[in-house]
């Protein structure tokens, strides 16, 4: 079970690891960047949903729920089946996480080029700004 303080602690750790990887050089740390951008983005979402009481504190959000649905797909997207909630900027956030998760696998398991690594960071920073605004509206700073 992740409390509000634990969420903040985990987000801080992800930020520190990302800062270190960026300082060392993104081309040297694609796995670190892929992992921490993905994990922190999910941490943002889970924290926000806990903070706003959209999901109970014991509920965990998983990154693998964010497989982009195919246009011909008849079932609801997996994340919609797992998280039946509504919140501000939901579709924008989900689309960015879909983008991030697609690139994450390349960073973690493939042979990424610097452009792909920077794309993941760009997506992550967009998500961070959206969540900063949402958290600010709830009286919380990250």
Every domain of the chain and the residues it spans: 4-64+85-137
pLDDT tens-digit series, residues 82-108 = 999 999 999 999 999 999 999 999 999
Burial class (CB in 10 A: 0-12, 13-18, 19+), 129: exposed
Q: Are 10 and 101 in contact (CB under 8 A)?
A: no
Tens digits of per-residue pLDDT, 103-112? 999 999 999 9
Confidence tier at 51 by pLDDT (50, 70, 90):
very high
Neighbour count for residue 96 (Cβ, 10 Å): 19
Say if CB 136 and CB 73 are below 8 A apart. no
**Cβ-contact 7, 47 below 8 angstroms:** yes
The pLDDT value given to residue 2: 64
- Residue 69's pLDDT band (cuts 50, 70, 90): confident
């Amino acid at each position: 079970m992740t409390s509000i303080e634990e969420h903040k602690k985990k987000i801080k750790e992800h930020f520190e690891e990302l800062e270190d990887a960026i300082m060392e050089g993104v081309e040297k740390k694609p796995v670190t960047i892929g992992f921490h951008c993905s994990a922190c983005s999910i941490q943002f979402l889970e924290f926000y949903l806990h903070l706003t009481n959209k999901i109970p504190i014991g509920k965990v959000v998983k990154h693998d729920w964010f497989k982009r649905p195919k246009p011909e797909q008849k079932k609801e997207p997996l994340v919609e089946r797992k998280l039946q909630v509504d919140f501000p900027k939901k579709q924008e956030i989900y689309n960015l996480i879909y983008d991030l998760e697609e690139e994450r696998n390349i960073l973690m398991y493939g042979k990424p080029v610097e452009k792909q690594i920077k794309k993941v960071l760009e997506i992550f920073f967009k998500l961070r700004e959206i969540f900063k605004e949402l958290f600010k509206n709830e009286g919380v700073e990250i």
